[in-house]
Structure 1
Amino acid sequence: MLNSVPLKMPVNSRNWLRWPVMLAMSALLCACGFHLRGSANLPFKSIYMTFAPTSPLGIELKRNIVASGNTAVLPKEDGAEATLQVLSETREKVILTLNSSGRPSEYMLYYRLTFRVIDAQKKELLAPTLITLKRDISYNSSQELSKDAEEVLLYRDMQSDMVQQILRRLTAIKTAQPTQPAQQLEPAVPASDQVTAPIAVPAK
């Protein structure tokens, strides 16, 4: 009869870090699914956006607009009633606090977008607008992998927030209303057709 000998698995001091990373990445994959927070009722029937074709923000914004069913996103500017021009898009990571050893213990993540909107006649419908979002994140060198995953999630959350901020500003745009036809005035009566009252002559 053979005695069963329990197998001893090697212990990796970093194995415990894998679980939070795996959980965080799973949450990220779920977050990548499209969730429309509200229907975007834009004041124009078509729009062109100057985001790069692979821009995650541009892709998510396009999905929200298309899902509304009210506005088409065109692949080129020709024929679009409005154009969203991206003037700048930046991400920044700034040290917020230091620990007793002088090492960063907390960061602030910034996500900034500046854009404007013009119509087909190049008239400015929305002046250059800056949207700034920020999130703070703590840092621990012993949890570097999980913190990297958390940073990705925070930027992904800011991206979704940015989309909603843009949509609110697009929805609030007041487009030029078609001018009402001027009311036709009654034609003036020609002088020859005017009726003049007889002049009374005083009696002598």
Structure 2
Amino acid sequence: MALASLTIVATAGCGFQLRRSAALPFRTLYAGFAPTSAIGAEFRRLVRVAEDTRLVDDPAEAEARLEVIRELREKEVVGFSSTGRPREYQLRLRFTFRVVDHDGQPLLAPTEIVLRRDITSSDIEVVSKQQEEELLYREMQSDLVQQLLRRLAAIRR
């Protein structure tokens, strides 16, 4: 108990803060994700928590528009066993987007974010490897949304 109290006091005194989403430079933003996009759902959730930017459903009402060009999951075999069976995969999450202002003028040229993770394969642990793959994709999705928010926050108007 004393150790926990000491840790709290020490981290509070050094200025430590949990990382928050970067403040976006727009009062209103239209996020052009597909309705079923998991990346879009996480992005909208984090922007709604932010105090300075409001998401709008109508692009005409937005000060800026995030236009999603491509959102793609990929899985490529990168290693084989001695019997020729796939042994290692590389998972990739590709996201290409651009940002335009209310008049359609570019604020950020088309930009691609690519995240990669390696995963091994196992004929014995099929279900656990599928779960691991989904977990890795969710982690990449969270990383991607954080990178996207930082890039949007860096736009100077």
- Residue in 1 aligned with 2:71? 89
What is the aligned partner in structure 2 of residue 58 from structure 1?
40
The amino acid of 2:88's aligned partner reads E
Displacement of 1:37 after TM fit? 4.2
**Matched-pair contact (CA < 8 Å) for 1:42–1:170:** yes
CA drift of 1:39 comes to: 3.0
CA shift, 1:49, in A, is 1.1
Q: Quote the residue 1:47 is aligned against.
A: 29
Which residue in 1 is equivalent to 2:81? Answer: 99
Equivalent position SS for 1:142: coil
Counterpart position of 1:171: 153
Over the aligned positions, Cα root-mean-square deviation in angstroms equals 1.0
- Give 3-state SS (helix, strand or coil) of 1:64's partner: helix
- Deviation for aligned residue 1:84: 0.3
Separation (CA, whole Å) in 1 of partners of 2:41 and 2:130: 23
Counterpart-to-counterpart distance in 2, 1:60 and 1:39: 12
Counterpart in 2 of 1:19? none
- C-alpha contact 1:48 1:73 (8 A) present in aligned 2: yes
CA contact (8 A) 1:112 1:133 kept: yes
Structure 2 residue identity aligned to 1:143: E
SS at match of 1:86: strand
Taking the aligned partners of 2:20 and 2:82, their CA distance within structure 1 comes to: 46
Q: Look up the SS of the partner of 2:61 in the other structure.
A: coil
Distance 1:39 1:91 in 2: 24
TM-score norm. by structure 1 comes to: 0.67
User: Quick one: distance in 1 between partners of 2:126 and 2:119?
Assistant: 12
SS at match of 1:141: coil
Runs of 5+ unmatched residues, structure 1: 1-35, 176-204
Higher relative contact order (CA 8 A, sep 6+): 2
- Aligned-pair identity in percent equals 50
Higher strand share: 2
Structure 2: 5+ residue stretches without partners: 1-17
Tell me the number of residue pairs that the alignment of Structure 1 and Structure 2 aligns: 140
Pick the structure with greater CA Rg. Answer: 1
Give me the whole-angstrom Cα distance separating, in 1, the residues matched to 2:124 and 2:64: 49
| Matches for 1:1-40 after TM superposition, within 5 Å | 37-40=19-22
**What is the CA–CA distance in structure 2 between the aligned matches of 1:104 and 1:72, rounded to whole Å?**
46
- Whichever residue aligns with residue 89 of structure 1, its letter is E
Aligned partners of 1:116 and 1:129 also within 8 Å:
yes
The corresponding residue for 1:134 is 116
Query: 2:3 — aligned with what?
Result: none
Give 1:50 deviation, angstroms: 1.0
Tell me the SS of whatever aligns to 1:60. Answer: helix
Q: Does 1:75 align with 2:57?
A: yes
Contact 1:48 1:80 in 2 (8 A): yes
